[in-house]
Amino acid sequence: TDISRSEAKNIVRRLSSASRYIPLEYNMVYHLIARNYHGEVLDNIVVHTIHDMPFREHR
């Protein structure tokens, strides 16, 4: 039920490149991953949340 460190790194990389499309309410999820990918494993719920994110333009 946990994701690996490299999987979390890939998520951070994808979110970084798409960050201008991520709505403000998802920023906390992004920062949670950015803080934890190098040390702790993250629950799969976080991954599913990211996969279901609407990447709409965020102005």
Q: Which residue range(s) make up the domain with 35? A: 5-51
Task: Let me know if residue 46 belongs to a domain.
Answer: yes
Burial 32-50 (b: 16+ CB within 10 A, else e): ebeeebeeeebeeebbeeb
Q: Mapping DSSP to helix (H, G, I), strand (E, B) and coil, where does residue 29 land?
A: helix
Q: Tell me how many domains the chain contains.
A: 1
Task: Let me know if residue 21 belongs to a domain.
Answer: yes
- Rounded to 10°, the helix 5-17/44-51 angle is 30
Local mean pLDDT, 10-residue blocks, the chain (59 residues): 66 66 57 54 51 50
Task: Let me know if residue 59 belongs to a domain.
Answer: no
Task: Let me know if residue 44 belongs to a domain.
Answer: yes
Given a contact cutoff of 8 angstroms between Cβ atoms, the answer to whether 40 and 5 are in contact is: no
pTM beyond 0.75, yes or no: no
Task: Let me know if residue 43 belongs to a domain.
Answer: yes
Task: Let me know if residue 57 belongs to a domain.
Answer: no
Task: Let me know if residue 33 belongs to a domain.
Answer: yes
